[in-house]
Chain A
Amino acid sequence: MTEAIRIQLRVNGQAVERDVEPRLTLADFLRDELDLTGTHLGCEHGVCGACTVLLDQEPVRACLMFAVQADGRDVGTVEGLSRPGELTDLQASFRRHHALQCGFCTPGMLTTAHAFLERTPCPTREEACEAISGNICRCTGYIPIVDAIVATAEARQAQKAGGRP
């Protein structure tokens, strides 16, 4: 077995230091070493998007990265999106639109949509569809997920414009 390598990174704002096998994927590191099991593995070949996490705010597939590649970086997972016991506006919108059923794809949908809305605060419906087109959901048919993302953007814009929630 290859020697372990020390990595230092920030995960959901917390400094983390661990010795890891070079071949350990970032997804397994988060799930098994840090017990952040919200990051799910649906295919382990980079297609389904369930394992999407934020690496320096950008969505990446945690199954296609090694933990050592996250050394010195900032990693955000679904657990870090909201404060304990609370939902963000995006999460609440997912709930309101019934944008999740089994919930297995949901963490990846949320991290992807979160980053998308940061970049694209006023998306069209087509842009929202495109943004999550790399994430597979088998339950919802995607339509309510797109509804939830678009509604979140609209509510944020309305709040900005008129101060209405």
Chain B
Amino acid sequence: MIGRAQERNEDLRLLTGQGRFVDDIKRPGMLHAVVVRSPMGHARVLGIDASAALELPGVVEVITFADIAPWARPIPQRTCPLPGMENFLQRPLAEDIVRYVGEPVAMVIAESRYIAEDAAELIHVDYDGLEAAVDAHAAAQNAVLIHAAQGSNIASAYHVGRGDVDAAFRGAHYTRKERFYVHRHSAVPLETRGLVAEWDAAAGHLNVWGAGKVPFANRGILAGMLDLPPSAIDMIEVDVGGSFGVRGDFYPEDFLVPFAARLLCRPVKWIEDRRENLMAMNHSREMHCELEIAVDRDGLIQGLRGQVLSDLGAYVRTNSGVMAGKGTQFLQGAYAIPNLGFDVRAVIPNKTPAGTYRGPGRYESCFFRERLIDIAAKEMGIDPVEFRRRNLITAAQMPYDAGPLVPGQPTTVYDSGDYPTVFERGLAHFGYDALQARNGQLIDGRLHGVGLACFTESTGGGPGEHARLELRADGSFDLFVGSSSAGQGHETVMAQVLADALGVPYDSIRVHHGSTTYLKQGFGAYHSRSAVMGGSAVLKVGQAMQRVLLERAASLNGLAGPQGLAWREGRVVREIDGAVIATPVALAAGLPVCGPHERGPVSVETSFENDKLTFTFGLQLAHVSVDPKTAQVKVEKFLCVEDVGRMLNPLIVHGQTVGAAVQGLGGTFLDEFIYDEDGQLITGTFADYLLPVATDFEHVDALTLELSPSPSNPLGVKGAGEGGIIGTGAALSNAVSNALSGLSVSVTRLPMSLDRLAATMREARNAEGASA
């Protein structure tokens, strides 16, 4: 089954309206919550008057900071904390200062959502506006302090590097410095966030529906904040309408909704609306980088150094360190660069907090590096493909130590891969040589350009994953995995892995995932880890089940042990002649007279533990045409190429890759959170925050290779969920720059939206005019 393009089990319910998403959950006596959010970017909260709201029939409660004060601990970081960030954490409701538009200041709970929204409008919050620091560079000046007690808006500042980068620059044949910027945008999954929480006072137990991504970790955080043991809470995963990194980390509402349910002893549902989703769910990507490259006479990169300024928004969230931390680590990309040095700062301005979005830090750093490489290659008179060829890490250099570039984390080791071969395969598949002849040419009124970008991607984030397997009386299996799903297809892929591990029919396996009720421990879905960690745990639990069933078959047949028995095609056979000794049905029935381990259902739980990341390599190639009058870019052809080691289900891998790419194309040309100087978000609806639609990018394809299986897991797989997005900004900006080279346009800032690219073209024209 592994490697087969199996159609998904999930689809049957999702295609017929039978899926169960969190807003589909209804509990008896359920109340509805609405969050009152700050309309100000930076202000002092002088008072909150909820009296009119509380008089409205159907309103049950209004919760403000005073109500949660004893429990209002800062929401902790879950991953990649950078030094100092712990001083800028968010509490579930604002106390006396609001620091971004959308910050929760109160929660209204009522008998219906309609009433709760009416009541929210009746709550009067008295704000005293403060000067806002919106731009990251302005915030870094500390003229306006956003967390006054910290005395600075710099949440973290550090230097990482290796080799002697300054010596490399002193001795270089060629150096080039450029300033780059990636704009603020994010995943914006189609289903907004939501939760249903229900407190069973008699049992002292809390159920939370709507968990995602990391249910076990969030249970721990929630238990800590509510002063409950983790065993008193169950996080239940239902169908999830997309995550891409932003859903399922612990947000203020993940405390507020369960808190309200316990306070009121009634189930409480909260469903975010789209406007609040755009101002409250993690933003991402915004980063400034001044990057400098040193190259020797032969076109070999000797050094890379620079300054990274990561725009965190007003608070540090559970994973805010990833963008700066991993973004910096990935600045070197797939090239053997001996000397590196980076000064990193993570700054707090008055904007929505930022967290991870598919390819966090990777998209940004790939754009910085790959644009700079194209600029350098052009100035040195070296073909950009040839320049990359000379510098790619070779198969002989694997495993490649990429250096310790994240504070508090061990060195990064690219575990495997034949980058040059993947590179050549990608160029050939794209037809690069023929297409690149069009660079800068005006064809039918449009300027054509071809560009590419290389990237490496870490996948299979540790520390482990758990799986439990139960044999049922009818010989079928229930498989429970700690991996959570946001629509990828775990119910299909995990069954494929187990079907092979056990040699049983695919249809005899049911997969259950995500919820804390299924397993003692689990980790979830992040860092492209489900196939790597979850899949390996499933393989392991299948093998463990085989051992248990062999023992049981031996007992059943009065044998001293399983010697001479083998597991073949889902049954126990005698090795010597292949005779069937026991079927799963017989094994499930157990023994007439036996001990406690031999009768009744067979249940096996195992974990797969591994802290070693496994790295993919890929490149993306773009052919664009630009209307020189309107700056409108058409993506004529886009190709994603990536070596993922081994595909469990090619249909799903292809879908992930193309879907990620189109997300990245949208992020590069359309999506943008824009703020005014007071910190007001002015792209707060889908009419202003533009997402790609079906007519925008019709020519996207993927070539997925299985050249270098991962040495770090028994399946040999590498994660495939994020690679498709990583090189989009880089490849497209290189292609557009090549198209517009005759106009002296060099793209150094994203997005390449119509207005921004038109402005860049105008600036280039004016600069030419001035110099002429």
Interface residues of A (CB under 8 A from B): 1, 21, 23-24, 31, 36-45, 47-48, 50, 77-79, 81-82, 87, 91, 94-96, 98, 100-107, 110, 125, 129-130, 132-146
Which residue of chain A has its CB nearest to the CB of B18? A38
**Taking the complex as formed, is B148 at the interface, i.e. its CB lies under 8 A from any CB of chain A?**
no
Known A-B contacts A47-B686, A141-B663; A21 and B16 likewise in contact (beta carbons under 8 Å): no
What does DSSP make chain A's interface, helix, strand, loop or mixed? loop
Verify B114–A42 contact, CB threshold 8 A.
Answer: no
Docked CA distance A40–B487 (Å): 15
Verify A103–B12 contact, CB threshold 8 A.
Answer: no
Verify B694–A102 contact, CB threshold 8 A.
Answer: no
Known A-B contacts A36-B17, A91-B16, A98-B651; A140 and B658 likewise in contact (beta carbons under 8 Å): yes
Docked CA distance A7–B36 (Å): 34
Known A-B contacts A23-B114, A45-B687, A47-B687; A133 and B693 likewise in contact (beta carbons under 8 Å): yes
**Taking the complex as formed, is B15 at the interface, i.e. its CB lies under 8 A from any CB of chain A?**
yes
**Taking the complex as formed, is B453 at the interface, i.e. its CB lies under 8 A from any CB of chain A?**
no
Chain A residues with Cβ below 8 Å from B654 are: 98
Verify A141–B661 contact, CB threshold 8 A.
Answer: yes
Verify A94–B693 contact, CB threshold 8 A.
Answer: no
Q: How far is the CB of A18 from chain B (nearest CB, A)?
A: 16
Which residue of chain A has its CB nearest to the CB of B652? A98
Chain B residues with Cβ below 8 Å from A39 are: 17
Which residue of chain A has its CB nearest to the CB of B14? A103
Which one of B72-80, B121-129, B240-248, B343-351 is at the interface? Answer: B240-248
Verify B700–A103 contact, CB threshold 8 A.
Answer: no
Q: How far is the CB of B23 from chain A (nearest CB, A)?
A: 7
Which residues 697-716 of B sit at the A interface, judged by CB distance below 8 A? 697-698, 700
Question: Can you list 15 A-B pairs with a CB-CB distance of less than 8 A?
Answer: A23-B114, A41-B23, A42-B191, A45-B274, A45-B685, A78-B15, A95-B7, A95-B11, A102-B239, A102-B242, A102-B487, A103-B241, A105-B190, A135-B693, A144-B658
**Taking the complex as formed, is B662 at the interface, i.e. its CB lies under 8 A from any CB of chain A?**
yes
Docked CA distance A125–B469 (Å): 45
- The CB with the most chain B CB atoms within 10 A, among A1, A36, A102, is that of A102
Residue among A41, A138, A140 making CB contact with B691, cutoff 8 Å:
A138
Known A-B contacts A43-B274, A98-B8, A136-B686; A103 and B487 likewise in contact (beta carbons under 8 Å): yes
Which residue of chain A has its CB nearest to the CB of B13? A103
Residues 229-272 of chain B, each 1 if its beta carbon lies under 8 Å from chain A, else 0:
00000000001111010000000000000000000000000000
**Taking the complex as formed, is B771 at the interface, i.e. its CB lies under 8 A from any CB of chain A?**
no
Q: How far is the CB of B656 from chain A (nearest CB, A)?
A: 8
Interface residues of B (CB under 8 A from A): 7-8, 10-12, 14-21, 23-24, 57, 114, 187-192, 239-242, 244, 273-274, 486-489, 651-652, 654-656, 658-663, 685-687, 691-695, 697-698, 700
Residue among A48, A96, A103, A106 making CB contact with B686, cutoff 8 Å:
A48
Q: How far is the CB of B627 from chain A (nearest CB, A)?
A: 19
Residue among B19, B273, B488, B693 making CB contact with A142, cutoff 8 Å:
B693
Chain A residues with Cβ below 8 Å from B274 are: 42-45, 48
Chain B residues with Cβ below 8 Å from A143 are: 658, 662, 698, 700
Chain B residues with Cβ below 8 Å from A100 are: 11, 14-15
- The CB with the most chain B CB atoms within 10 A, among A105, A134, A138, is that of A138
- The CB with the most chain B CB atoms within 10 A, among A39, A95, A134, is that of A95
Verify A38–B16 contact, CB threshold 8 A.
Answer: yes
4 nearest A-B residue pairs (beta carbon): A38-B17, A102-B487, A103-B14, A141-B662
Known A-B contacts A40-B21, A44-B273; A102 and B11 likewise in contact (beta carbons under 8 Å): no
Q: How far is the CB of B685 from chain A (nearest CB, A)?
A: 6
Chain A residues with Cβ below 8 Å from B652 are: 98
Docked CA distance A50–B21 (Å): 13
Docked CA distance A41–B686 (Å): 13
Known A-B contacts A103-B241, A136-B691, A141-B663; A45 and B11 likewise in contact (beta carbons under 8 Å): no
Docked CA distance A142–B696 (Å): 10
Residue among A42, A81, A105, A141 making CB contact with B697, cutoff 8 Å:
A141
Q: How far is the CB of A5 from chain B (nearest CB, A)?
A: 15
Verify A139–B659 contact, CB threshold 8 A.
Answer: yes
Verify B694–A135 contact, CB threshold 8 A.
Answer: yes
Q: How far is the CB of B22 from chain A (nearest CB, A)?
A: 11
Verify A129–B191 contact, CB threshold 8 A.
Answer: no
Docked CA distance A97–B487 (Å): 15
Chain B residues with Cβ below 8 Å from A133 are: 693-695
Q: How far is the CB of B244 from chain A (nearest CB, A)?
A: 7
Residue among A79, A98, A144 making CB contact with B17, cutoff 8 Å:
A79
Verify B8–A104 contact, CB threshold 8 A.
Answer: no
Residue among B17, B188, B488, B658 making CB contact with A78, cutoff 8 Å:
B17
Q: How many A-B residue pairs have CB under 8 A?
A: 174
Which residue of chain A has its CB nearest to the CB of B187? A138
Docked CA distance A39–B24 (Å): 10
Docked CA distance A94–B265 (Å): 43
Q: How far is the CB of B737 from chain A (nearest CB, A)?
A: 24
Q: How far is the CB of A36 from chain B (nearest CB, A)?
A: 7
Verify A104–B686 contact, CB threshold 8 A.
Answer: no
Chain B residues with Cβ below 8 Å from A94 are: 11, 15
Which residue of chain B has its CB nearest to the CB of A105? B190
Docked CA distance A47–B688 (Å): 11
Residue among B17, B18, B190, B658 making CB contact with A138, cutoff 8 Å:
B190
Docked CA distance A38–B12 (Å): 13
Chain A residues with Cβ below 8 Å from B692 are: 141-142
Q: How far is the CB of B453 from chain A (nearest CB, A)?
A: 18
Chain A residues with Cβ below 8 Å from B187 are: 138
Docked CA distance A82–B15 (Å): 9
Known A-B contacts A101-B655, A101-B659, A138-B188; A95 and B240 likewise in contact (beta carbons under 8 Å): no
Docked CA distance A38–B18 (Å): 6
Chain B residues with Cβ below 8 Å from A110 are: 15
Docked CA distance A104–B686 (Å): 17
Docked CA distance A148–B12 (Å): 15
Docked CA distance A103–B24 (Å): 14
Known: A81-B16, A87-B15. 4 other contacts (CB 8 A): A38-B16, A79-B18, A102-B14, A102-B239
Docked CA distance A96–B214 (Å): 30
Verify A144–B19 contact, CB threshold 8 A.
Answer: no
- The CB with the most chain A CB atoms within 10 A, among B240, B656, B659, B660, is that of B659
Verify B191–A102 contact, CB threshold 8 A.
Answer: yes
Verify B694–A145 contact, CB threshold 8 A.
Answer: yes
Docked CA distance A21–B58 (Å): 15
Q: How far is the CB of B100 from chain A (nearest CB, A)?
A: 22
Chain B residues with Cβ below 8 Å from A36 are: 17
Verify A40–B241 contact, CB threshold 8 A.
Answer: yes
Known A-B contacts A79-B17, A133-B693, A139-B487; A87 and B655 likewise in contact (beta carbons under 8 Å): no
Chain B residues with Cβ below 8 Å from A87 are: 12, 15-16
Verify B686–A45 contact, CB threshold 8 A.
Answer: yes
Verify B17–A137 contact, CB threshold 8 A.
Answer: no
Residue among A21, A31, A45, A134 making CB contact with B693, cutoff 8 Å:
A134
Docked CA distance A115–B692 (Å): 22
Residue among B11, B240, B486, B700 making CB contact with A141, cutoff 8 Å:
B700
Docked CA distance A129–B694 (Å): 5
Known A-B contacts A134-B693, A141-B700, A145-B694; A91 and B17 likewise in contact (beta carbons under 8 Å): no
Docked CA distance A124–B301 (Å): 49
Known A-B contacts A138-B691, A140-B659; A42 and B190 likewise in contact (beta carbons under 8 Å): yes
Residue among A102, A106, A125, A130 making CB contact with B486, cutoff 8 Å:
A102
Verify B191–A40 contact, CB threshold 8 A.
Answer: yes
Residue among B11, B659, B663, B695 making CB contact with A103, cutoff 8 Å:
B11
Verify B655–A98 contact, CB threshold 8 A.
Answer: yes
Chain B residues with Cβ below 8 Å from A42 are: 190-192, 241, 274
Docked CA distance A134–B242 (Å): 19
Residue among A44, A102, A135 making CB contact with B240, cutoff 8 Å:
A102
Docked CA distance A140–B700 (Å): 11
Chain B residues with Cβ below 8 Å from A50 are: 190
Chain B residues with Cβ below 8 Å from A96 are: 7
Known A-B contacts A39-B17, A95-B7; A101 and B662 likewise in contact (beta carbons under 8 Å): no
Chain A residues with Cβ below 8 Å from B695 are: 129-130, 133
